[in-house]
């Protein structure tokens, strides 16, 4: 009986060990270098899982993850950037250690079969359109020291369901998450500004954890047809026209500022933040109801205001 027990225990340990091996971080097995007149010095790193990453060497022994095209058109065509990928915090090339500190714009723009990616906390900047149209990308972590989500960074990431922004992110730029059609919830951390069309077309977005944001730009949540209500914090100063245009399920708005947020850009006429929305009720501070009713951009909802 003991022999059977020990045999089963040994088998369990072997299975567990095999599982640990599969979960281990891929290791770089080879690198090669190419100098490009436009991109600079590019290093192709091949991992033990036969996938590649491409690094643009920067001053001070740092590097940026870049697109395979910078190495060669052939490299881009044959790039194994599918499934799960892990970016190392550092790598060795020609006996020199390089720290990975950024991801270039459009770095993964051709990786439409990329499903998940792990980004190390050494990365402090992610460029514009870095993951543009990564249509299979489900999960991603955003490093703690990222301050801006640049334009079109995750546009068209159709299967991404949720995003949590770290507290250091200050601004989400234009179209950053546009047409992420399966995005259902977003935690905006401590974001202070949301750019034009940042979440436009996120039709399954039903929950927004709105931080003490100051500016919400034109079309920021355009056509988010799953939104039924929104709670706007007291910090908002600008809620530009069309910010929630076409949100065809949006019926209830809680607007906490004591002064109505400005709805127009400088020098332009005031506009409606909620065109195409079936607004039934806008809750504002009791003492501010009359002010909202007589402010351009808000006056069309005269009989919808309710004090709290």
- Determine contact, residues 91/100, Cβ cutoff 8 Å: yes
Instruction: Please report the pLDDT score of residue 258 as a whole number.
Output: 97
**pLDDT mean by block of 10 residues, the chain; 308 residues:** 48 45 72 90 95 95 96 87 95 96 94 95 98 95 97 97 94 98 94 98 94 96 97 97 97 98 84 96 98 96 97
Structural domains of the chain in order of their starting residue, each with its CATH number: 27-111 (no CATH), 147-308 (3.80.10.10)
Alpha helices of the chain — where are they, by DSSP H?
2-23, 73-77, 289-293
CB 259 within 8 Å of CB 284: no
Residue 187 is encoded by which pair of tokens? 């935690």
Dihedral, CA of residue 61, residue 64, residue 65 and residue 70, to nearest 10? -100
What's the pLDDT at 19?
A: 43
> In this predicted structure, what is the pLDDT of residue 117?
95
Distance CA 54, CA 120 (A): 15
Residues 131, 112: Cα–Cα separation, whole Å: 9
Give the per-residue pLDDT at 201: 98
Q: Where are the beta strands (DSSP E) in 37-131?
A: 40-47, 52-58, 62-66, 83-86, 90-93, 96-103, 114-118, 125-126
> Residue 262 carries which DSSP code?
B
Provide the 8-state DSSP code for 212: S
Q: What is the pLDDT of residue 24?
A: 61
Q: What is the pTM of this model?
A: 0.89
Handedness of CA 146, 149, 152, 153 (dihedral sign): positive
List CB contacts of 201: < 8 A, sequence separation 6 or more. Answer: 178, 179, 180, 181, 222, 223, 224
Sequence-distant (≥ 6) Cβ neighbours of residue 100 within 8 angstroms:
55, 62, 63, 64, 65, 87, 88, 89, 90, 91, 120, 122, 123
């Amino acid at each position: 009986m003991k022999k059977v027990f020990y045999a089963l225990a040994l088998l369990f340990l072997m299975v567990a060990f095999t599982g640990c091996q599969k979960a281990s971080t891929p290791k770089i097995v080879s690198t090669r270098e190419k100098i490009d007149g436009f991109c600079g010095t590019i290093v192709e790193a091949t991992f033990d899982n036969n996938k590649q990453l491409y690094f643009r060497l920067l001053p001070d022994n740092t590097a940026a993850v870049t697109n395979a095209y910078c190495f060669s058109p052939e490299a881009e065509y044959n790039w194994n950037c599918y499934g799960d990928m892990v970016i190392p915090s550092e790598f060795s090339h020609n006996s020199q250690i390089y720290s990975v500190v950024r991801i270039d714009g459009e770095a993964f723009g051709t990786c439409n079969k990329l499903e998940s990616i792990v980004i190390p906390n050494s990365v402090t900047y992610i460029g514009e359109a870095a993951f543009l149209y990564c249509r299979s990308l489900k999960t991603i972590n955003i490093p703690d020291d990222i301050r801006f989500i640049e334009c079109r960074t995750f546009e068209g990431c159709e299967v991404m369901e949720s995003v949590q922004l770290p507290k250091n992110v200050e601004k989400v730029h234009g179209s950053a998450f546009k047409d992420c059609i399966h995005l259902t919830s977003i935690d905006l951390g401590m974001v202070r500004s949301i750019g034009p069309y940042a979440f436009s077309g996120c039709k399954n977005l039903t929950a927004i954890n709105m931080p003490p944001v100051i500016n919400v730009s034109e079309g920021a949540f355009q056509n988010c047809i799953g939104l039924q209500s929104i709670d706007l914090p007291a910090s908002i100063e600008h809620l530009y026209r069309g910010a929630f245009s076409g949100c065809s399920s949006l019926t209830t708005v809680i607007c906490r500022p004591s002064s109505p947020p400005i709805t127009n850009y400088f020098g332009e006429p005031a506009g409606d933040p909620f065109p195409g929305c079936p607004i039934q009720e806008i809750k504002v501070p009791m003492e501010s109801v009359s002010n909202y009713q007589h402010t351009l951009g808000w006056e069309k909802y005269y009989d919808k205001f309710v004090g709290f």
